Structure 1
Amino acid sequence: MSALTGMGMMIRLALRRDRVVLPLWTLLPALFPVAFVTAFTTGYPTAQARQEYAETSVHNVAFTVVYGALHGSSLGELVTWRAGFIPIVVGLSALLTVIRHTRTEEEQGRRELLGATALARHAGLAAALIIVACGSAVLGLLSALLLIGQGLPAAGALAYGCRLLIAGCVFAAVGAVAAQLTTSAGAARALGIVALAGAFLLRGIGDGGGSEWPAWLSPFGWAGRLQPFGGERWWVLALPAVASAALVVLAVVLSQRRDLGGGLLPERRGPAGAASGLRSPLALAWRLHRGSLAGRIGGLALVGLALGGITESLGELMNNSTPAAREALARLGGPGTVVDQFLVGMMTLLGVVCAGFAIQTVLRLRAEESGGRAEPVLATPVDRSRWAGSHLVLALAGPAAGLVVFGAALGLAHGLGTGDLSGQLPRVLGAALIQLPAVWVFTGLAFALFGLLPRWAATAFAILVASLLCGWAAEELRLSPWVTDLSVFAHLPRLPGADVTPLPLIVLTALALALAAAGWAGLRRRDIPIS
């Protein structure tokens, strides 16, 4: 039997199962650059206006870290820069898709059943990689064609499409390696996301710091160095091609060295008997979430301390920027000093990150259900309300603790740096806590989807990203106010620096409660499990 026997069957099966998800991450990201073309031509119609916008943005460290380095002021370069987050989304989608069709299939026992047929060992892995590579190529080509249709140069448009292809192929290979190392899909996803976050961090350090070399260690950095519409450097494509091929070979070698269903990293086995503290659903939920909660809160503390230490110097840098730069910052940050306006943007990002943590905590319920671990718990005197409520409590309390720790760490470092600890610590802490109602809205949304439409629960992440984009992109590109109003975070008071209006906070909290109640009602009425 050939090493790839049955690969065609596995491709057809994967396409059948991903008939909804695959078109979404293959087609939708291609529409964002077109929207940015329209926004730039409307808001900045002349070359002089775009030059001022570029001068504004190139000195904004936060923008550089998030979107990458800006190399010029042409329409194509600005669109490519503003779409700098899309390769990250594509990389994450590719990573998760490969893990879903490899490690998840093994964990749930379906791969073993298929292996009883005429199916080679590496057929499933090859099928997943081919699907993701083809999907990334389709996305890149479609994006290029749409940009060419907007009147942009063909060479730059093709280079932009190659940026997406780089992200998809490299992180598909990363997902393939992660799937060989662990015995669970959750651990494989964690390893892959750590690798993606590391690549993003290296690119951010290289683009926003004084030295460029860290960006050359990141696939996202390679995508940026391709420089679409700015004198394309096609030789950069050799780096992701070699890296992808090497990672695929590594995944195949690792696959040959492990048993089906097993992983190369040793599995940590628990004690034979449960601890005395595991006598309630809340205690079990805490046991499941405590590691991730500790890691998240610790990471937020470190980031808060780091940001607090450089906030004052960043404020001085922004005070020396152009009037157009200060105007753009004021649109994003509202009233207050330049430092306050910078902190408003950081607090919005903090809210988005904590909302993502909350969604992930809620989705653990879905993982417990689909993995068959919820039924044994519910077969005891524990009912659905106590089981789901224990996870929901941690989804509400965990992000709240993260906001407190981040705000306290940033306020402490900033207060010590300015010599005004008693004044800055409560201001910054309040600015962090003001994000809590919006975070709870997404907690309630994820719980509502889990209770009513469990198969679509993960779309809460897509809604979160859309909310962030509607807020930042609309303010930055001066789009219609109704676009900004689509963002949950746009309705929060812009602290520090603005006045607190209690009505939006009350409305958002009530919305979170209503969504949680809807999810609770749906969970009580539906079957468990729903595969």
Structure 2
Amino acid sequence: MTATLTAAPTTRTTDQFAQTWRLVGLMARRERIIGLVTLVLFIAINAATAAQIAASYSTPAQRQLLLNGPGSNAAFRFLLGPLQNLESTAALTVWRAGLFMVAALGVCAVLMVVRHTRAEEELGRYELVRSCATGPLASLAAAAIVASGFCVVVALGMSLMLFPLGGTASGVFSVFAQYATTGLAAVGAALVTAQVAKTSHIANLTASAVVLIGYLLRGVADSIDGWSWLRWVSPMGWAEAIDPFGADNLWPAVASLAVFACGAVTAGVVVMHRDLGAGLIEPRPGPSSSARLGSVGAVAWRTTRSLLASWVVGIGVYALIVGFMQPSVNELAEGNEQVTKVLQQSGLGGDLSLLFVITMVAFLAVAASAWPVNLAERLRTEEAGGRTETLLGTPLSRSRFYLVHVVLAWLGVALAMMVAATALTVGDGIAGGGWSESARHSFAAAGAQIPAALVVGSIGLALYGVRPALAHVGWLIVIAALLLGPLAGMFGLPQWVHDLSPFTHSPQVPVASMQWTPIVVMVAVAAVFVGIGWAAFRRRDIT
């Protein structure tokens, strides 16, 4: 008896963008939580900044002091740009938070694009999508649409809130153009790097570097005479050239739109001609064999050292900039009753420069606490790729695997904070603030913040230990620790809410005496979360 087998018909399409809008819906649904949290965070930070500006610089005399003090300081110009417009609270808010938040939006847009393109390709899901009746450009176009829509929504939120603060229609529209077009330029850069880089990590670093290096070049142009031409070589410089509430010049925004268009076209051409999984920028291949990779600790260090280096370098660079600003901070309090009142009510007994060090070190500690969360994300990726299962197939216990990565995470936090303290000292010393006393204050403040950062980082690793998909929640923990800790005072939150952040309990050295009880308690809490993650990881399935 014979049977005839008839092949199932294969659905093919000649439409290069087939099913794009269905993929847009899928990607938007996946971003609904991260995108909403990011939007709320941007608006909350901008609103808190506006409230602080309205309280501290409500009169023309106070605004003039701001212009003559921090506004004329090279370090502040490097970080925030030139202060040119004093007419309204809206204009001062744009100066205080504008360019930094614009750069942050660019980095968020980069992460979103890569998350839906190269990261999906690494995990094998892009191949499944392409096996359906989808066009070869559908995923790329959908990622561009979702990321662009995100940038536009954030731009609307950041600009429309300026109307009650005295913003004019032309100035508000210029702010919208600042955020939207710079975000779109970052999307264009990410579309290209996602195609030419072989891994999502390299794609994220490359595209984010375009944004952040542009921010640094813009700072050099603003702070050093004769280098103003650097303002015109990057989208961040073009964003500053728009000059909201001043010239309101929209022509530089056209250049950012051109970057987006060129990036989208280039990425489309590349994706049509490259092989699946291929890339021009590849990780440096390791040796075929090595006696130095004989332990799980050596393997963990080898696979994560570049990621740790990016965090340490980023934190160190920002700390160096803060160090340059430190000698000029006391100018903020000159003639400003609001700032003086805040200083007197702090109860810490130090001058504004020391309070500035403590505050900025707390922000740097929050950044350092994100390193273990990023490591948990890397562990999730390794597990999804089957590499963790391969390692655990050797005589390697789950306990040792998990605890080695915990040790790496803790040491990374300590390293980042020590580098931050060193950079603060170097910046302050070069700017004329002294060396020995600055080093003593910086290292004392940084050391006091390490236990709080360990708590946040240990929670992130514990979430991975319980379930790999929960590793993403670690970022929400970092954001919550920031909003309820260093930023809690800007929102007028009650003390019990403030106390939910471990950074609230860090000793305020050097202006207050060292208190060892909160240090011991926070280290113990971090150890408890390590134990929870360890116990869960030993028992759950490896996916």
Normalization by structure 2: what TM-score?
0.83
* Structure-2 separation of matches of 1:380 and 1:129: 42
Q: Which moved more, 1:487-496 or 1:167-176?
A: 487-496
Q: Pick the aligned partner of 1:506 from 505, 520, 531.
A: 520
Q: Secondary structure at the match of 1:498?
A: coil
What is aligned with 1:203?
A: 218
**Structure 2 contact 50–89 (Cα < 8 Å) conserved:** yes
Q: Does 1:17 align with 2:33?
A: no
Q: Does 1:189 align with 2:201?
A: no
Q: Which amino acid aligns with 1:489?
A: F
Q: Secondary structure at the match of 2:15?
A: coil
Deviation per CA, 1:425-471, whole angstroms, max 9, x where unpaired?
Answer: 44433333222112212211211322345434234334434544555
Deviation per CA, 1:284-336, whole angstroms, max 9, x where unpaired?
Answer: 2122123344565567667777876x57xx52684697343974895899544
Q: Does 1:437 align with 2:454?
A: no
Q: How does 1:234-313 map to 2 (within 5 A)?
A: 234-266=250-282, 268-273=284-289, 275-294=290-309, 297=312, 310=324
Q: Which amino acid aligns with 2:306?
A: G
TM-align CA RMSD: 3.7
* Structure-2 separation of matches of 1:429 and 1:151: 42
**Structure 2 contact 90–167 (Cα < 8 Å) conserved:** yes
Q: Does 1:493 align with 2:529?
A: no
What is aligned with 2:379?
A: 365
* Structure-2 separation of matches of 1:72 and 1:417: 27
* Structure-2 separation of matches of 1:427 and 1:113: 55
What is aligned with 1:105?
A: 120
What is aligned with 2:234?
A: 218
Report the CA distance between 1:395 and its aligned residue. Answer: 0.5
Change (3 A) 1:99 1:350: same
Q: Does 1:4 align with 2:32?
A: no
- Would you say how many aligned residue pairs link Structure 1 and Structure 2? 524
* Structure-1 separation of matches of 2:396 and 2:474: 27
Change (3 A) 1:409 1:51: closer
What is aligned with 2:463?
A: 449
Q: How does 1:80-479 map to 2 (within 5 A)?
A: 80-84=94-98, 85-148=100-163, 152-210=167-225, 211-266=227-282, 268-273=284-289, 275-294=290-309, 297=312, 310=324, 315=327, 318=330, 322-324=334-336, 327=340, 330=343, 335-336=349-350, 340-408=354-422, 411=425, 425-452=439-466, 454-468=468-482, 473=487, 479=492
* Structure-2 separation of matches of 1:469 and 1:397: 25
* Structure-2 separation of matches of 1:500 and 1:62: 31
Report the CA distance between 1:387 and its aligned residue. Answer: 1.5
Report the CA distance between 1:94 and its aligned residue. Answer: 1.3
**Structure 1 contact 90–164 (Cα < 8 Å) conserved:** yes
* Structure-2 separation of matches of 1:416 and 1:68: 21
Report the CA distance between 1:497 and its aligned residue. Answer: 3.9
* Identity %, equivalent residues: 32
* Structure-1 separation of matches of 2:465 and 2:373: 13
Q: Secondary structure at the match of 1:262?
A: coil
Q: Secondary structure at the match of 1:277?
A: helix
* Structure-2 separation of matches of 1:33 and 1:306: 22
Change (3 A) 1:349 1:400: same
Report the CA distance between 1:103 and its aligned residue. Answer: 0.7
**Structure 1 contact 65–207 (Cα < 8 Å) conserved:** yes
What is aligned with 2:5?
A: none
What is aligned with 2:71?
A: 58
**Structure 2 contact 315–367 (Cα < 8 Å) conserved:** no
Change (3 A) 1:150 1:294: closer
Report the CA distance between 1:237 and its aligned residue. Answer: 1.6
* Structure-2 separation of matches of 1:47 and 1:413: 32
**Structure 1 contact 449–457 (Cα < 8 Å) conserved:** yes
Report the CA distance between 1:386 and its aligned residue. Answer: 1.6
Q: Which amino acid aligns with 2:380?
A: R
* Structure-2 separation of matches of 1:333 and 1:364: 42
Report the CA distance between 1:196 and its aligned residue. Answer: 2.7
Report the CA distance between 1:51 and its aligned residue. Answer: 5.4
Report the CA distance between 1:397 and its aligned residue. Answer: 0.7
Report the CA distance between 1:394 and its aligned residue. Answer: 0.4
**Structure 1 contact 50–75 (Cα < 8 Å) conserved:** no
Q: Which runs of 5 or more structure 2 residues have no equivalent in the other structure?
A: 1-13
* Structure-2 separation of matches of 1:83 and 1:279: 48
Report the CA distance between 1:160 and its aligned residue. Answer: 2.1
Change (3 A) 1:509 1:237: same
Change (3 A) 1:285 1:157: same
**Structure 1 contact 5–123 (Cα < 8 Å) conserved:** yes
Change (3 A) 1:452 1:208: farther
* Structure-1 separation of matches of 2:343 and 2:73: 13
**Structure 2 contact 372–461 (Cα < 8 Å) conserved:** no
Change (3 A) 1:81 1:520: farther
Change (3 A) 1:288 1:223: same
* Structure-1 separation of matches of 2:358 and 2:390: 46
* Structure-2 separation of matches of 1:59 and 1:488: 36
**Structure 2 contact 73–328 (Cα < 8 Å) conserved:** no
Q: Pick the aligned partner of 1:29 from 19, 26, 42.
A: 42
Report the CA distance between 1:398 and its aligned residue. Answer: 1.8
Q: Which moved more, 1:148-157 or 1:103-112?
A: 148-157
**Structure 1 contact 362–395 (Cα < 8 Å) conserved:** no
Change (3 A) 1:424 1:520: same
Deviation per CA, 1:87-127, whole angstroms, max 9, x where unpaired?
Answer: 23322221111111111122122222222333222221111
Change (3 A) 1:427 1:250: same
* Structure-2 separation of matches of 1:408 and 1:20: 37
Q: Which moved more, 1:190-199 or 1:51-60?
A: 51-60
Q: Which amino acid aligns with 2:457?
A: T
**Structure 1 contact 60–318 (Cα < 8 Å) conserved:** no
Q: Which amino acid aligns with 1:190?
A: L
Report the CA distance between 1:166 and its aligned residue. Answer: 2.0
Report the CA distance between 1:422 and its aligned residue. Answer: 6.0
